[in-house]
Structure 1
Amino acid sequence: MTRAIGLFTATAAAFLAFATPAEADSPTPVYFRVGNFNCSIAPDDSVGCDLPQPLPMDFPILGEFGLPWLGPVQHVVIDLPWLPAHPTYPPGTPFTLPGGNPDISEVATSQSMYQKTITHGGTTCLAGFMGDVTCTAKGHSFVVTVYGIHAH
């Protein structure tokens, strides 16, 4: 019974946290949307995005030199400090809330005329005025545009 109450309390707290703006010390994920790209930043500074349709991706091999990833990518993530941004193949849309993510302007930690930025822990994502998303985490980054994904 105590375990069930604890689980219920943790679940309720998680749902309440999704409705609040991003805070650097928040122990819950922060979800946001830029155009059709739905992303989230986890408490461990991992970041990932669900894309509405598969896109080509280049994967860094030696510094800035990149090779095309084999096949289109629908989910991109930075989750390990020793691995650059890379595709992931989870079922469903793990970086999207059931009712959809809030627009980045609703959770942004800073905004200007041309860009909206969200910083959560050690991760920063920004939305450019052309609808691109750039995320930096764990010493790596990726840029998602309507044309493809570039990993750094």
Structure 2
Amino acid sequence: MKMRAFAGMAVAAAAISLVGTGTASADAVNPGDYLIGDTAYFNVGPAQCSIKADGSAGCDIAAGIAKWLNIIPVTDLAIDMAFLPAHPTFGVFGHYGRADANTLPQGNGYGSTITYAGATCSGGGRGAIQCTSKGHSFSFGWSGTTTT
């Protein structure tokens, strides 16, 4: 009996792999729609973010959303130097976002992605925001905060 159950699960697994499962993907937006000068500004849920012409990316985050090292509450995260991992700046360099910036659309339910100057940020779906640039990344949202 156990062998029949095992064989049945193997057949079911093979059938699922042949049918495939959809993957979540974010819709790309035109960065030109978000440029103010040479900086792309955009808002996503609880954050106001930007990507500068040098590829630096950062977000101002509503209080209570992000914790650096999952311990220290932060209200901003940035990737601004290739030799440093993503990090908070604690407001020392001013704000990253603008309240009057366009909001990234929800897209297909998984949010949208903006790519500009070698940086990519995705957000708007499922409560998460992720940015990558200069070999580093940060993300925050319902699943917590990560920086690399």
TM-score by length of 1: 0.66
Contact persistence 1:115–1:129 (CA under 8 A):
yes
Per the alignment, residue 120 of structure 1 pairs with 116
Cα deviation, residue 96, structure 1: 2.1
**Where do 5+ consecutive residues of structure 2 fail to align?**
1-31
- Point out the more displaced range, 73-82 or 142-151: 142-151
Per the alignment, residue 56 of structure 1 pairs with 67
Per the alignment, residue 97 of structure 2 pairs with 96
Check if 1:135 corresponds to 2:145.
no
Contact persistence 1:50–1:93 (CA under 8 A):
no
CA offsets 1:92-119 (integer angstroms, 9 cap, x no match): 961122x43210129xxxx544231100
Q: Which one has a bigger Cα radius of gyration?
A: 2
Alignment map for 1:2-151 (pairs within 5 Å): 21-22=33-34, 28-54=38-64, 55-58=66-69, 68=70, 71-90=72-91, 94-97=95-98, 99-105=99-105, 111-127=107-123, 129-146=125-142, 148-151=144-147
- CA 1:93/1:145 → structure 2, altered by over 3 Å: closer, same or farther? farther
Percent identity between the aligned chains? Answer: 34
Per the alignment, residue 9 of structure 2 pairs with none
Contact persistence 2:38–2:53 (CA under 8 A):
yes
- CA 1:83/1:92 → structure 2, altered by over 3 Å: closer, same or farther? closer
- CA 1:81/1:91 → structure 2, altered by over 3 Å: closer, same or farther? closer
CA offsets 1:37-79 (integer angstroms, 9 cap, x no match): 1100011100000011043122xxxxxxxxx45x311110000
- Secondary structure of the corresponding residue to residue 21 of structure 1: helix
- CA 1:136/1:92 → structure 2, altered by over 3 Å: closer, same or farther? closer
